[in-house]
């Protein structure tokens, strides 16, 4: 079993908890310094990713050197992971458990920056598709300005669709009113992102119809849906909860500078 395969096998034991680690390993494993610690039956994973690797991190944390992600099966493994952390660098810790923050605080002066919520469907939960929604597996040029207004680059969007992404959109004639795209985070988890409704069509529940349809088609294809929102995006949180999604994980970002 390769180093990459061994790490992915452990992270996939709890895919929603580790969705960010899985996403980064899937897309950027060649650029990541990945560490796997095994101590008898226990294990730990540490990912050290240059902050310039992922567009979002590069834009959001321009002063950072490295993004740190981790997971471990037992606190007993943490000291071995701690030894591999850079001590004289600007670090962004993305932590999916508060216990990880508590373990790090004696060694780093941490400052909380933001929190992101990942929503998903419950096992066996059903969703319905809105027949008025158009589902497309090719990039529609009319939708690019809407997705890019959500801080997606053309390069990112192109890569997503080359990797099997699809779009869900409500049109009025040739005019897109509300849209989202669904793209692969890793083998099992697909993200519903780029949700955007034009200003003239807001407050009509169109985004709910689009996202609900996206969840339906994601489940129909055998994938686990993930819908991520910033903690202060109350409208997006209400949208997720209004269609029946539940919060699966909270990812907190902490910096040491």
Q: What Å distances lie between residue 20 and 15, 17, 40, 175, 250, CA to CA?
A: 9, 8, 26, 34, 11
Give the model confidence (pLDDT) of 140-166 as tens digits.
999 999 999 998 999 999 999 999 999
Taking Cα atoms as reference points, which of 214, 134, 211 lies closest to residue 173?
134
Q: What is the pLDDT, as a whole number, of residue 1?
A: 74
Report how many helices (DSSP H) and strands (DSSP E) the chain contains, helices first: 9, 11
Give the model confidence (pLDDT) of 21-71 as tens digits.
999 999 999 999 999 999 999 999 999 999 999 989 999 999 999 999 999
Q: And the tokens for 13? A: 């034991």
Taking Cα atoms as reference points, which of 39, 40, 42, 12 lies closest to residue 25?
12
pTM over 0.75: yes
């Amino acid at each position: 079993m390769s180093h990459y395969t061994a790490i992915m096998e452990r992270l996939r034991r709890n895919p929603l908890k580790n969705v960010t680690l899985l996403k980064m390993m899937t897309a950027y494993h060649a650029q990541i310094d990945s560490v796997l610690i095994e101590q008898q039956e226990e294990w730990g994973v540490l990912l050290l990713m240059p902050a310039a690797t992922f567009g979002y991190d590069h834009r959001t944390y321009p002063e950072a050197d490295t993004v740190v992600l981790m997971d471990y099966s037992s606190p007993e493994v943490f000291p071995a992971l701690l030894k591999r952390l850079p001590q004289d660098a600007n670090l962004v810790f993305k932590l999916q458990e508060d216990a990880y923050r508590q373990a790090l605080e004696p060694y780093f002066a941490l400052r909380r920056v933001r929190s992101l919520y990942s929503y998903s469907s419950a096992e066996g939960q059903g969703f319905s598709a809105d027949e008025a929604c158009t589902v497309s597996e090719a990039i529609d040029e009319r939708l690019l300005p809407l997705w890019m207004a959500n801080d997606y680059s053309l390069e990112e969007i192109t890569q997503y669709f080359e990797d099997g992404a699809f779009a869900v959109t409500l049109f009025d004639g040739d005019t897109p009113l509300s849209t989202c795209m669904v793209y692969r985070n890793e083998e099992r988890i697909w993200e519903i992102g780029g949700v955007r409704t034009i200003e003239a069509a807001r407050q009509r529940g169109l985004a709910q119809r689009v996202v609900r349809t996206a969840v339906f088609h994601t489940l129909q294809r055998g994938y686990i849906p993930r819908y991520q929102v910033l903690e202060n995006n109350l409208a997006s949180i209400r949208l997720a909860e209004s269609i029946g999604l539940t919060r699966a994980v909270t990812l907190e970002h902490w910096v040491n500078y």
